[in-house]
Amino acid sequence: MSPISAKPRVLVTRSIFPEIIASLEAHFEVTSNQSDEAWSLEQLTAQLQGKQGVFTTGGDRIDAALLAACPELKICANMAVGYNNFDVDAMTAAGVLGTNAPDVLTETTADFGFALLMATARRVSESEHFLRAGLWKRWRYDMFSGTEIHGSTLGIIGMGRIGQGIARRGAHGFGMQVIYHNRSRLDAATEADCRARYVEKTELLQTADHVVLVVPYSAASHHTIGAAELALMKPTATLVNIARGGIVDDSALAVALREKRIAAAGLDVFEGEPSVHPDLLTVPNVVLTPHIASATVGTRRAMAQLAVDNLIGYLVHGQARTPVNTLVQDRV
């Protein structure tokens, strides 16, 4: 028989930095999936039995059925700023706290949004494939001509912290005119800091040279960009999605790219990822990356540490740092 532990029990669903496991072990009895094998819902449910906390990543769905099967669970700490993998209402109803990992990834993710915009507009991937394939035989005046970045119009849909970081890079670094659309308009000081002007979505799509999507995923933001929206964009425009799969109708986008109704797209997130719509894999004018916008060692470490801080904060001290459903925390 195993000795009775006074420590709360925590599950870590995916492989993570060893020192993060060590910092959890100072406070908890930890079970971790360091082999990183993908767990089915049934396996996750089985692993969660008797656990008070779980360290999740964006792919771990926490819903009413899972919560009903795991009555001891008190907190789900997401190592992600987005938490569309949480059914927040079901968690609140079950008395389970959810936490996310905001702020620590803002600038890194904004850097990547800009990197993807530039790679897309300047055809970096497409031209590298051409070179690697041994097709570069001579200089040509129009070889891989792209779209201007400096001085162009940058349209940002979703002007939270990451959107603002991209706006500042565009306005201050590249002299871009920044327009944005958001559920609510920013205050005047933030608009001035970002040098960004609020416009309706239609105007943004019609006038932007580069459209960047940074909205959280929800039923309301599903297919924010579909065939109708793509039809509004300039034929020379680029589209970048660093938000979530499902914000863009990937099938409609593949058609628009193939038919050159827009110039190019840069995608870090996909509907049904890690699967990618097969048509996107065959069109040349799209840059595809495997959901890596926050992937620097320092940022991923900080995101993981924030999830750890939330687990310790809540299960040991009764107060998490970044809750997403504060009602539960208030009740404790």
102 preceded by a cis bond (ω within 30 of 0)? no
Please say if 317 is a catalytic residue: no
The beta strands (E) that lie in the chain are given as 9-12, 29-32, 53-56, 75-78, 97-99, 153-157, 177-181, 196-198, 210-213, 238-241, 264-267, 286-288
Of 11, 24, 81, 308, the one binding ligand 8YV by CB under 6 A = 81
Using the rule CB under 6 A, give the single segment among 37-45, 76-84, 136-144, 189-197 that binds ligand 8YV.
Answer: 76-84
Q: Give the CA radius of gyration of the chain.
A: 22
| Distance of alpha carbon 101 from alpha carbon 309, whole angstroms | 10
Residue nearest to ligand 8YV (CB): 58
Instruction: Using CB under 6 A, pick the residue from 12, 20, 79, 154 that binds ligand 8YV.
Output: 79
The whole-angstrom separation of Cα 42 and Cα 44 is 5
Query: Whole-number minimum distance, CB 208 to ligand 8YV, in Å?
Result: 23
* Catalytic-labelled residue, pool 123, 181, 244, 300: 244
- Which of 61, 258, 291, 321 is flagged as catalytic? 291
End-to-end CA distance of the chain: 33
Tell me how long the chain is. Answer: 332
Q: Mark the segment that binds ligand 8YV (CB under 6 A) among 25-33, 75-83, 120-128, 152-160.
A: 75-83
Site for ligand 8YV contains 154 (CB under 6 A): no
Q: Cα dist. 310→77, 219, 220, 233, 242 in Å? A: 7, 27, 28, 42, 25
Least distance CB 141 / ligand 8YV (angstroms): 40
- Report the distance separating Cα 163 and Cα 214, nearest Å: 6
Q: Which is nearer to ligand 8YV, 9 or 300 (CB)?
A: 300
Active site includes 291?
Answer: yes
Q: Which stretch binds ligand 8YV (CB under 6 A): 32-40, 62-70, 79-87, 159-167?
A: 79-87
**Does 210 qualify as catalytic in the annotation?**
no
x/- string (CB under 6 A) for ligand 8YV, residues 255-294? ---------------------------------------x
Tell me if 88 contacts ligand 8YV by CB under 6 A: no
8 touches 315 (CB < 8 A): yes
Q: What is the DSSP letter of 56?
A: E
Q: How far apart are CA 67 and CA 84, in angstroms?
A: 16
Does 57 bind ligand 8YV (CB under 6 A)? Our answer is yes
- Residues designated as active site: 244, 273, 291
Residues near ligand 8YV, by CB under 6 A: 57-58, 79-82, 105, 294
